[in-house]
Amino acid sequence: MPHVHGEDPKEWIKRNALALHAIKISCGAEKFDRIKKKNSAKDAWNALANLHKQPNENGNNDRGIRIERKQAVTLLKDIKRGDSDAVKKLFETHPPYSAALENGSTALHVAITTGKINLAKKLISVMSKEELETQDKSGETVLSLAARKGSREIVECLVGKNKKLLEIPDCEKNIPLVLACATHHQSLTRYLYSVTPEEFLDPGNGDDHGFFFLKECIRNHMFDIGLDLLRKFPDLTFHKSSLEPTPVISVLVEVLSSLFGGNKLLLLCEYASLFS
């Protein structure tokens, strides 16, 4: 796409790259596949617009089939009662129940929110990998939601079925690993850190996921994980996010008061060596 007449070509290239990056990281895996080869933000945006305009097999537009209000009310009541058999039967006989409700959530989003673990596991078993990637209006997939709520059993179940969910950020550009750490679920954070693709946290890829995760590790006193991350990617030491310009050392200052004594002091010394 040519730049606007009279505009500095270098400035256009910079703005286009930033816009294209923002579009791509805001997409789920399925939509990303449609635009990953696009070189301009305008082309990517138009491709997504055309995708949403395409009618599905029932002649409906928008992001998949939306169930009727009466059906939605019945479904929500069954979920809140924890009636797994009723929901699973409806889900299997009425495919639209795998689609979005009015707020963009799926039945599985609701089951996780209401803590219906057994029901959630049954829904996961009958949903396709693509359906699991559905994002609600906050950009949360079911894995993002489960990570934020600390639902280890559900998280492991979801990761076992679709590892792509580990890489899909919400509207705030936080991946499940960051959400788990930010909400103080340390055991779950360690699990997600072990299964999240290492290269996804590399600042050299142009994303801020590693930087966001490192800050949350420090704030939540998970210093061993933070050190491990810094050893793998030393560039994170002074990496600055386009969204959050605070360097990592400033985050360390915020938690100095908790670092006096014992193993924490030794860890602080190790951190200090990385800045020398």
What are 187-218's pLDDT values in tens digits? 999 999 999 999 999 988 888 899 899 989 98
Write down the pLDDT at residue 100: 56
**Does residue 98 have a pLDDT over 70?**
no
Write down the pLDDT at residue 245: 43
The mean pLDDT of 134-151, rounded to a whole number, is 93
pLDDT digits (tens, 9 = 90+) for 226-274: 889 988 998 887 655 444 444 555 555 555 545 554 455 555 556 555 5
Write down the pLDDT at residue 230: 86
What does CATH list as the number for 62-164? 1.25.40.20
Name the residue among 229, 156, 226, 231 with its Cα closest to residue 195. Answer: 156
Does residue 251 or residue 86 have the better pLDDT?
Answer: 86
How far is Cα 103 from Cα 17, in angstroms, rounded to an integer?
Answer: 31
Per-residue b/e over 225-239, b at no fewer than 16 CB within 10 Å? Answer: bbbebbeebeebeeb
In the 3-class helix/strand/coil scheme, how is 63-121 assigned residue by residue?
CCCCCCHHHHHHHHHHHHHCCHHHHHHHHHHCHHHHCCCCCCCCHHHHHHHCCCHHHHH
Least confident of 86-90, 176-180, 233-237, 266-270: 266-270
DSSP the chain: -PPPTTS-HHHHHHHHHHHHHHHHHTS-HHHHHHHTT--SHHHHHHHHHHHHHS--TTS--SSS----HHHHHHHHHHHHHT-HHHHHHHHHH-GGGGS--TTS--HHHHHHHTT-HHHHHHHHHHS-HHHHT---TT---HHHHHHHHT-HHHHHHHHHH-GGGGG---TT---HHHHHHHTT-HHHHHHHHHHS-GGGG-GGGT-SHHHHHHHHHHHTT-HHHHHHHHHH-GGGGS---SS----HHHHHHHTGGG--SHHHHHHHHHHHHHH-
- Model confidence at 143, pLDDT cuts 50, 70, 90, reads very high
Least confident of 5-9, 84-88, 163-167, 169-173: 5-9
Domain regions of the chain by residue span? 1-54, 62-164, 197-276
**Does residue 19 have a pLDDT over 90?**
no
Does residue 21 or residue 154 have the better pLDDT?
Answer: 154
Does residue 32 or residue 192 have the better pLDDT?
Answer: 192
| Residue given tokens 């599985």 in the structure block | 108
**Does residue 89 have a pLDDT over 80?**
no
- Model confidence at 155, pLDDT cuts 50, 70, 90, reads very high
